[in-house]
Amino acid sequence: MNDADVSKQIEQMVRFIRQEADEKANEISVSAEEEFNIEKLQLVEAEKKKIRQEYERKQKQVEVRKKIEYSMQLNASRIKVLQAQDDLVSAMKETASKDLLNVSHYKSRHLHNYEGLLRALIIQSLLRLKEPSVLLRCRKEDLHMVESVLDSAKAKYAGKERVHTPEIIIDDIHLPPAPSHDDPHALSCSGGVVLASRDGKIVIENTLDARLDVIFRGKLPEIRKLLFAQVAA
Amino acid sequence: MPTDQAELNSEQVLRRDIAWETYMTTKLITGTSLQLLRRYDKKSENDRAPLLDNDGPSYIHVFISILRDIQKEETVEYVLALIDEMLTANPKRALLFHDKSLADDDIYEPFLRLLWKGSWFIQEKSSKILTLIVSARPKQNGRTNGATDSKKKITTSDDVLKGLVEWLCIQLKKPSHPSRSIPASVNCLATLLKESVVRSSFVQADGVKLLVPLISPASTQQSIQILYETCLCVWLLSYYEPAIEYLATSRALPRLLEVVKGSTKEKVVRLIVLTFKNLLAKGSFGAQMVDLGLPQIVQSLKAQAWSDEDLLDTLNHLEEGLKDNIKKLSSFDKYKQEVLLGHLDWSPMHKDPIFWRDNITNFEENDFQYHPAGRIIVTDLKAKERVMKLMNHENAENKN
């Protein structure tokens, strides 16, 4: 073999080796690229899933919060409504209470026949108690009036019940006076009487305040119906 | 290299003397082009290399212009041979075609046009050069560059890829050249199939089944090279989901096994084993591989002394995967056989109610143990919904 042949052969071998190497290099680069793509896709999908889940979670949170907000608002407005209704009703009672004072007020009681009222209250109380001997308490300012109607009341009762006229002792302790501007929170009484059995075990509170309470409580459903019939609960 | 007397090759073409001056006087090429040609033509690689390094795009421009403006076959062949020679000496020069200074030139158009006419030499060189140029294009965010110039209709890379796939499929189906068409086409495909656009249009053009017959044991150096490149194409396709379905319905797997059994060429074995690795987890391939005796083949391959470490790794990986498959499938052989048979033959068996009625007894025998296990195979076979519907339908019937 001469030099030309040798170098040609070497050239061929070089070309062959290079081709084999290029082919393997190509395979490696393709493998790497494809594996990269596969992994990238997996990572992207995983992240997408995470983000999706995160947003679902947040969405749920928002919904729950909305629901809570809504029911809180609903409750708050319900309470407001109820409160307003309550206030209105209380205001009514206040007004009634104030008007009631006029009945016993020294300036206007003659107009309202307070004297007659006292007598009737005493008779009613006696009828309730059915005791032969009772204790009576009244306001200091009503003392005179009470004393003046006491006998006729006793007599009326006795006649009605066909019993002996009862013994009525007027207590030294008086009911508190009418409410004054000086001290609006002090105990007060708008008028009327309190009768009790001698042993103090049975007490009939026939004050105007007590009567107002009873009526008010009893009539409350009707009052609410009249006032709030159109309002949905 | 023995040359066919009727066969034209680059060496012969490049011996021609082209009368460039005449072209200039007839204004088919410019004065500058003539100058550049004089500097480049008939020179050695050593002389040409610095020219291309310093002013590559200008030379490309000259070549493109000639191919665009001159029709004479001799000249066209000559220029193509020049370009081929240039790229063979240094494939990186394909990048020169994408130089910004050539943005106004339609670098693809001449080659794409020449695919469809002219001598086989022209077609073969055009396809080879076009493959190299389009594969070298700079990618933006993995997307292909499209022409943004609306006035001039410049061929886009997508056009090129589609056109190439079309031409290559025709060559595989009806070769223009009795002996060169197939090697040339497979060679181009082995480069092009790296791209997903190509994979998709190739599969859509039903190209996969054109490759399968080429998978057969080879003995000569030339046929081994074709086999290697074919296997390269198959391996590249095995990364692409839609292609896998085609591979499943063709006889690709048995053919690959035949080749790998008998082949002593390491690079061929290497590729086929890599392909098996990709297919192992997909569809019914795992089961088919076991059926066709791959585990034993892997054993005997491992016993042979390969020099490539990666090959040994892949073989081990394959062995593991196959073992897992066997474990999964061995617990219901009968059902597996029948189902696989049914599915390998595609629709008829699968939809045959008689087949299912006959096998319902099998299900009942094992108290529906096959249900959850069957679901695994059926998921593998990607027919879950249909089968579940059928199974539930049949079970309901049977329950009555």
Which of A86, A105, A124 is the C-terminal boundary of a domain? A105
pLDDT of residue B150: 46
Say if CB A101 and CB A178 are below 8 A apart. yes
Q: What is the CATH number of the domain that holds A174?
A: 3.30.2320.30
pLDDT tens-digit series, residues B124-137: 999 999 999 999 99
Query: Do B227 and B287 have their domain in common?
Result: yes
Does residue A172 sit within a domain? yes
**Domain span at A190:** 111-228
* Alpha-carbon gap: A53 to the closest alpha carbon of chain B (Å): 26
Total number of domains constituting chain A: 2
**Domain span at B397:** 369-400
Query: Do B377 and B236 have their domain in common?
Result: no
- Sequence-separated contacts (24+) of A82-89 with Cβ below 8 Å: A85/A224, A85/A227, A85/A228, A85/A231, A88/A227, A89/A220, A89/A223, A89/A224, A89/A227
Query: Do B130 and B197 have their domain in common?
Result: no
Q: How far apart are CA B396 and CA B400, in angstroms?
A: 6
Which of A90, A105, A120 is the C-terminal boundary of a domain? A105
Total number of domains constituting chain B: 3
Q: How far apart are CA A168 and CA A195, in angstroms?
A: 9
pLDDT tens-digit series, residues A16-62: 999 999 999 999 999 999 999 999 999 999 999 999 999 999 999 99
Which of B135, B141, B187, B239 to probe by mutation at the A interface, max A CB count within 10 Å? B239
Enumerate residue ranges in chain B where pLDDT < 50: 1-5, 142-151, 344-355, 363-384, 400
Query: Do A78 and A141 have their domain in common?
Result: no
Does residue B45 sit within a domain? yes
Query: Do B29 and B115 have their domain in common?
Result: yes
Question: B-chain residues within 8 Å CB-CB of A27?
Answer: 232, 270-271, 274
A99 touches chain B (CB under 8 A): no
Does residue B345 sit within a domain? no
Which of A57, A77, A105 is the C-terminal boundary of a domain? A105
The residues facing A204 across adjacent strands are A195
Q: What are phi and psi of B218, to 5 degrees?
A: -125, 150
Whether the predicted interface score ipTM is above 0.85: no
Does residue A183 sit within a domain? yes
Query: Do B131 and B226 have their domain in common?
Result: no
Q: What is the CATH number of the domain that holds B253?
A: 1.25.10.10
* Residue in B236, B267, B274 closest to A23 by CB: B267
pLDDT tens-digit series, residues A81-99: 999 988 988 898 889 888 8
A31 touches chain B (CB under 8 A): yes
**What six digits make up the tokens of B269?**
């074995």
Q: Give the 3-state secondary structure of B253-293.
A: HHHHHHHHHHCCCHHHHHHHHHHHHHHHCCCCHHHHHHHCC
CA nearest B221 in A: which residue? A16
Query: Do A192 and A164 have their domain in common?
Result: yes
DSSP per residue, B115-184: TTSS-HHHHHHHHHHHHHHHHTSPPBTTBPP----SSS-PPPHHHHHHHHHHHHHHHHHS-SSTTTHHHH
Query: Do B126 and B8 have their domain in common?
Result: yes
Question: B-chain residues within 8 Å CB-CB of A20?
Answer: 267
CA nearest B191 in A: which residue? A26
DSSP assignment, residue A221?
A: H
Question: A-chain residues within 8 Å CB-CB of B239?
Answer: 34
Give residue A180's pLDDT band: very low, low, confident or very high (50, 70, 90): confident
**Would the pTM of this model clear 0.90, i.e. be above it?**
no
Cβ neighbourhood burial of B59 (10 Å; 0-12, 13-18, 19+): buried
Query: Do A145 and A121 have their domain in common?
Result: yes
**What six digits make up the tokens of A194?**
């309190």
Residue A116 has pLDDT above 60, yes or no: yes
Query: Do B123 and B185 have their domain in common?
Result: no
